[in-house]
Structure 1
């Protein structure tokens, strides 16, 4: 059976490596098509260059940047609207175009909390992606954005409560509250240990974030054993296809598996 293609949609450069770097590397190694859409930061910024390096390491193609401004960093996209402030219909349409062009079986994005940190851009990326995955298969929505395509599944990158035992000691000194979900909500626990070296290299490729002491900087300062503890497992909540994605004449029913590699 063919390995399902994966399109990851995340808010900022580095989110893809931290949240789903292992899954992207694992699927690429198995021969699947993989790609990443990033909501914020302009193409002519250093962080876009770092993103390109991270995706090369993960074998996830070239950056697909929507180019909006980070909610907290205006210089991320000079002259552009903050992603959170952009018209919803505009952002959904842009993402639908990527979905219809790449035609993935699986879409991966932030969970409804926006991950552990709850960044407003993460939360908004989750909302836009949920809407775009539904809209992509409806032929009368955004007809100028390509032929309809319905992904088979949407996976939300998350952290169960039990994982806070690992992350809590590292994030507590920052004063940030952490958002996790009940363990029973997790439907896919993925061991990415064999791809940990790639994942860590992709995280560290985001040198700007390493230097300013953000999450990649935290990873950079840890010994290998602690990096493995924090990054060798990825957790996801699976959403099935929308009901209309399987009806003849409406949308496109994709073939092949709709499951992440375990």
Structure 2
């Protein structure tokens, strides 16, 4: 752990449970170090079961109350009754909603899905990546979305991802016949050992009980021995993007933390 102040962090993910699976360790780590953390979820609504489960997961991670964009899951229309699916909503509207959250919270770091939409490539993950990338840029531009508040430019955008070298560990998680989207190891700019926060991360994953019950990723993980779960969950990988670079990012081996 660096002696530098830990930067504030906002995670933006597509569904309830994505925040715990892909960035739960980093969220817990930043919270434990005294940093402000928040989570924006693109789909589902607070009045659903999954919305309530998200509230519990964020309590465990110390990430505040849910911030939800209110769109429907691409595969579950009842996740946000009366609202369009995220992937069909007007892009300008979706970006504007997220810009509002960024300007209200004013994070130094934003974390979201990579361009592949993570190992599964879920269409909501892919689209959340697009929306977040645009919103991080737009949030710092005063003439864009003036109704969303005073401009704020995050220092860095980190994409949660998995390197090719993680394939062996991930193979037990992905169902047979499913493609796994990983990236070249040299693309990774932060490899974070979150094992000290693994108990907290796992508790947050288990808070998404409906996903455990239906045998989605949390449910499959629950069926593994603890050693297998640890191999899958104890490391988080990120690719850094600088929305408004003011200094070069140092070369060399990947960092072990997210920096602003």
TMscore range, shorter length:
over 0.9
1:84 paired residue among 83, 87, 95: 87
Q: Which residue number corresponds to residue 258 of structure 2?
A: 260
Q: Counterpart of 2:174 in 1: which secondary structure?
A: helix
2:133 paired residue among 130, 133, 148: 130
How far apart in 2 are the matches of 1:74 and 1:169?
Answer: 30
CA-CA distance at 1:108 after TM superposition: 0.1
2:171 matches 1:194: no
Normalised by the length of structure 2, the TM-score is 0.93
For residues 203-214 of structure 1, what are the structure 2 equivalents within 5 Å? 203-214=205-216
RMSD: 1.2
CA-CA distance at 1:90 after TM superposition: 0.3
Gaps in structure 2 of 5+ consecutive residues: 248-256
- Contact 2:173 2:221 (8 Å CA) reproduced: no
Q: Which residue number corresponds to residue 29 of structure 2?
A: 26
Q: Which residue number corresponds to residue 184 of structure 2?
A: 182
Q: Counterpart of 2:201 in 1: which secondary structure?
A: helix
CA-CA distance at 1:43 after TM superposition: 1.3
Q: Which residue number corresponds to residue 157 of structure 2?
A: 154
Aligned length: 247
Q: Which residue number corresponds to residue 35 of structure 1?
A: 38
CA-CA distance at 1:172 after TM superposition: 3.9
Q: Which residue number corresponds to residue 66 of structure 1?
A: 69
How far apart in 1 are the matches of 2:156 and 2:61?
Answer: 21
Q: Counterpart of 2:142 in 1: which secondary structure?
A: coil
Q: Which residue number corresponds to residue 225 of structure 2?
A: 223
CA-CA distance at 1:79 after TM superposition: 1.3
Normalised by the length of structure 1, the TM-score is 0.92
Gaps in structure 1 of 5+ consecutive residues: 247-258
2:224 matches 1:234: no
Give CA-to-partner distance per residue, 1:79-125, whole Å, 9 cap, x none.
11000000000000000000000000000000000000000000000
2:114 matches 1:111: yes
Q: Which residue number corresponds to residue 256 of structure 1?
A: none
Q: Counterpart of 1:70 in 2: which secondary structure?
A: coil
How far apart in 2 are the matches of 1:115 and 1:138?
Answer: 28
